């Protein structure tokens, strides 16, 4: 099972869509506070539809609390538009942690400095970034494809 981490998510619709993706891909969702919304926000539930009740989700008060829950930091992969290595070049394994930052600014330098594995999603220079829900879908899809090939 993959672990999908959203650090300080800001937009409930994105979090709801990612929650739905996690249910559909049998992945765990980890949400790190503070959020830019209330977890029972109607938009979050609208985006997650009726799937939210099936979601394997954990919440953490802050980054430090989340980091304490990680059994193997070498299997944590942080997504950053500043990384040099593409997620398509990475060898994913069952149980990996895929970490995404807040929509407005991504992951902070403090979070990035705590882990060595940074990955990027290749994109045209015409855009700054992809929507976070799309970014999660790209990376989870590739990771699940790779894991499926190893079974």
- 3-class secondary structure per residue, 22-64: HHHHCCEEEEECCCCCCCCCHHHHHHHHHHHHHCCEEEECCHH
Q: 0.85 exceeded by the pTM?
A: yes
Residue 65: alpha-carbon gap to chain centroid:
17
Write down the pLDDT at residue 97.
Answer: 98
Domains in the chain: boundaries: 2-147
What residues pair up with 29 in beta bridges, in sequence order?
Answer: 4, 57
Secondary structure class of 111 (helix, strand, coil):
helix
99-110 pLDDT tens trace = 999 999 999 999
3-state secondary structure 78-105: EECCCCCCEHHHCCCCCCCEEEECECCC
58 assigned to a ligand binding site:
no
| Contact assessment for residue 69 and residue 47, using Cβ atoms and an 8 Å cutoff | no
Question: 36 among the known binding-site residues?
Answer: no
Note the pLDDT tens digit of each residue in 11-59. Answer: 988 998 999 999 999 999 999 999 887 776 566 556 555 787 899 999 9
121 marked as binding residue = yes
Q: Which residues contact 50 (CB under 8 A, 6 or more apart)?
A: none
Q: Contact, 5 vs 97, CB < 8 A?
A: yes
Q: Average pLDDT of 97-125?
A: 96
Tell me phi and psi for residue 45, to 5 degrees. Answer: -65, -35
């Amino acid at each position: 099972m993959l672990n999908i981490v959203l650090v300080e998510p800001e937009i409930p619709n994105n979090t709801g869509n990612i929650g739905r993706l996690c249910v559909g891909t049998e992945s765990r969702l980890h949400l790190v506070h503070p959020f830019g919304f209330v977890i029972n926000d109607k938009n979050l539930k609208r985006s997650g539809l009726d799937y939210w009740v099936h979601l394997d989700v954990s919440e953490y008060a802050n980054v430090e609390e989340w980091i304490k829950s990680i059994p193997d930091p070498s299997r944590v992969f942080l997504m950053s538009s500043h990384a040099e290595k593409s997620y398509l070049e990475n060898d994913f394994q069952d149980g990996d942690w895929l970490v995404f930052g807040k929509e407005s600014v991504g992951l902070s330098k403090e979070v990035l400095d705590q882990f060595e594995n940074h990955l990027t999603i290749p994109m045209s220079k015409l855009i700054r970034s992809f929507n976070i829900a799309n970014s999660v879908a790209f990376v989870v899809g590739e990771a699940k494809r790779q894991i499926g090939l190893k079974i």
